[in-house]
Structure 1
Amino acid sequence: MFDVLIVGGGPIGLATACYLAEAGLSAVVAEPRTGPIDKACGEGLMPPAVAALRALGVDPVGRRLRGIRYCDPTHSVDAEFRNGPGRGVRRTVLHAALAERAEAVGVELVPKRITEFSQSAACVQADGLTARFLVAADGLHSPIRRACNLDPASAAPSASVSLSASASASAVPAPARPARYGLRRHFQTAPWTDFVEVHWSRASEAYVTPVDDGLVGVAILGPAGATFDERLAAFPALRERLAGAEGAGPVRGAGPLRQAVRRRVAPGGRVLLVGDASGYVDALTGEGISVGLAQARALAVCLAAGRPAEYERRWHRVSRRSNLLTAALLAARRNPVLGPRIVPAAGALPAVFGGAVRLITG
């Protein structure tokens, strides 16, 4: 028997396993995909994420980031980080570094897809694995979360659950607001800046992150129903800069981004959610990895102390600031009066913009 079974071997799942191992708990990570896993991601680590990874013994190779730049067709304003640099890191590089660290601290990695699980008063059993707790780190559309009926307006879960059946039976209610999606592609070109550039158009944002000496990532957030090239057309200056650059790798997508979750600890106290699986507002502020690492650390503290129910409170404590700031910026973004004025206001009030960036980046 393991202390903790983690379903999902992405960066936050692996980081959770590392924190648990540091706390003296045995952890096994179940992930069917082998090798570094790529996905749609802005790939910009904010300073708190860089510091947290370093404290965990992980130092992925990437490009130093000096701050954040907001741009629209007529304005550009910079805000430098004040609490250390950020880092642009390929998602695959980050995953490989965390996987190496997890193995070094004794985490067992098994190439297994969890298709069903059951929980009792003493343990959780899942596809031949037994653990005192199960942690779902299986992403935005977490099958574990749906199996536990933790999406809004879901019914109570049963003790034994088939993930494929539960995922289809427990449909997520239609969102009350237009859903947002993300698309990301890399371009082979020398980075022209050491800032994360956020280009704003009427309905979407494009994030440009240098991740290597000859590679930049471009992630575009916005409504559904458009290809990457169609979305890029909304940013003429950026499209012109990338005109001679060759695309590297496929376009990857994710969404809908907003995921409302009723609670992070399932009834029975044996199943817990972390990272994107535990709830998500939007990628607008680029804090996903920072917040996920803080959640992973909080979860490990609670399980090591034998107080899993306390994780819900600690999750809110480490996630609240980011969620509130992201929701506020997203509300302004959607407002037909305020939205077009975000970048001009940042340019007119650079001290306020710099303070907001420092607040966002911890």
Structure 2
Amino acid sequence: MIDLLIAGGGPAGLSAAIRAAARGMEAVVVEPRTAPVDKACGEGIMPSGVAALRELGVAVSGHPLRGIRYVEGARGTEAAFRGPPGLGVRRTTLHAALHARAMELGVRIVPGKVAEVRHGHDRVAACGLTARWLIAADGLHSPVRRGLGLDGPVSTVRRYGLRRHFRVAPWTEFVEVHWSRHGEAYVTPLGDGLVGVAVLSGERRAYESHLASFPRLAAMLAGRDTGPVRGAGPLRQRVRARQAGHVLLVGDAAGYVDALTGEGVALAVATAGAAVDALASGRPQDYPARWDRLTRRHRLLTGGLLALAGHPATARMIEPAAHRAPALFRAAVRALQ
């Protein structure tokens, strides 16, 4: 019998598979798409995420990220990371590196999609496979989570993300967060004459319409777009529980607040590792508390920023507040790194 079946072959699922294989467990990933997979993503990895990938033996190249800069109009306020940098990485590059490491460790990847999970006394079955445990890493709108009845109440805060790439040389080693009363734009340097620009907003509009809310940025990027616009949302996902029998939820499937602080990949790797470690130690019941500890700071800070960003009057105060209290801004950025 398989030790660990993993629904979803994104960063969370592949990280879980790599960690499991390194601990001597047989891991099988069920994923319908072929590698490398692209999706809407800010493409910035926090320093903690870079370190976690390195610990998994995943070699990935990208553009160094030295910190975060908040921008409104012509004014900007920045806070550098303490210690090693983060990394701006194309989503496809990251996925290819994770996939290669999983293959190197003998992880089996089966084409398919987990839609129904059947529970036994000491096992689970899905897609014609039987395993001792299943990790659901199947994304923001997880079919496994929904099928198990673990979806929480629908949030009244409905925000969406769109991302596009632009052929322009990165002008900074900071992730720039541009603020407006309509939402935020996140500029991530990716190297090789490329930047990614993700927009987050509660307003459902075309990407070009969102970008027009940031005139200075839009002027810098005019005529330089490349590739399709990719989107995701609604972002806020509430979850009733992160374990149901022999199933553990990790990454976005385990619940999501918002992409405001750019910690998606770092948290995906961290929660996947915590789930595998709990299983390997024979204490799966410890995982929900570990998840809570790993994500608490992110949830508090992101929730606070989201509350401010959700109202035009207070959203316009965020960059000025960072400018007036740089020490507090640095402390918040370093808490997230």
Q: Same fold (TM over 0.5)?
A: yes
Does residue 35 in structure 1 map to residue 11 in structure 2? no
C-alpha deviations, 1:11-41, integer Å up to 9, x for none?
1100011111122211000001112000000
Q: 1:10 — aligned with what?
A: 10
Unaligned ranges ≥5, structure 2 = none
Identity of matched residues, %: 58
Q: CA RMSD in A?
A: 1.2
- Once residues 39 and 103 of structure 1 are traced to their aligned partners in structure 2, the CA distance between those partners, rounded to angstroms, is 21
TM-superposed deviation, 1:200: 0.4
Does residue 176 in structure 1 map to residue 118 in structure 2? no
TM-score (norm 2): 0.97
| One-letter code aligned to 1:352 | L
Unaligned ranges ≥5, structure 1 = 153-172
Does residue 79 in structure 1 map to residue 89 in structure 2? no
| 1:198 counterpart SS class | strand
Does residue 265 in structure 1 map to residue 243 in structure 2? yes
| 2:243 counterpart SS class | coil
Q: Is the 8 A contact 2:159 2:233 kept in 1?
A: yes
> Aligned match of 2:322 in 338, 346, 351?
346
| 1:109 counterpart SS class | strand
Does residue 203 in structure 1 map to residue 203 in structure 2? no
C-alpha deviations, 1:175-227, integer Å up to 9, x for none?
223x0000000011111111101000102000000112211100000014200
| One-letter code aligned to 1:192 | W
| One-letter code aligned to 1:193 | T
Does residue 322 in structure 1 map to residue 298 in structure 2? yes
Q: Is the 8 A contact 2:169 2:195 kept in 1?
A: yes
Q: Is the 8 A contact 1:302 1:311 kept in 2?
A: yes
Q: Is the 8 A contact 1:136 1:144 kept in 2?
A: yes
- Once residues 83 and 283 of structure 1 are traced to their aligned partners in structure 2, the CA distance between those partners, rounded to angstroms, is 23
Alignment of 1:175-254 (within 5 A): 175-177=155-157, 179-245=158-224, 247-254=225-232
C-alpha deviations, 1:16-71, integer Å up to 9, x for none?
11111122211000001112000000000110001111111112111111111100
- Once residues 70 and 32 of structure 1 are traced to their aligned partners in structure 2, the CA distance between those partners, rounded to angstroms, is 38
TM-score (norm 1): 0.91
C-alpha deviations, 1:131-166, integer Å up to 9, x for none?
0011110000000000000012xxxxxxxxxxxxxx
The range that moved more, 11-20 or 107-116, is 107-116
Q: 2:55 — aligned with what?
A: 55
TM-superposed deviation, 1:329: 1.1
- Once residues 351 and 321 of structure 1 are traced to their aligned partners in structure 2, the CA distance between those partners, rounded to angstroms, is 18
| 2:295 counterpart SS class | helix
Q: Is the 8 A contact 2:164 2:196 kept in 1?
A: yes
Q: 1:302 — aligned with what?
A: 278
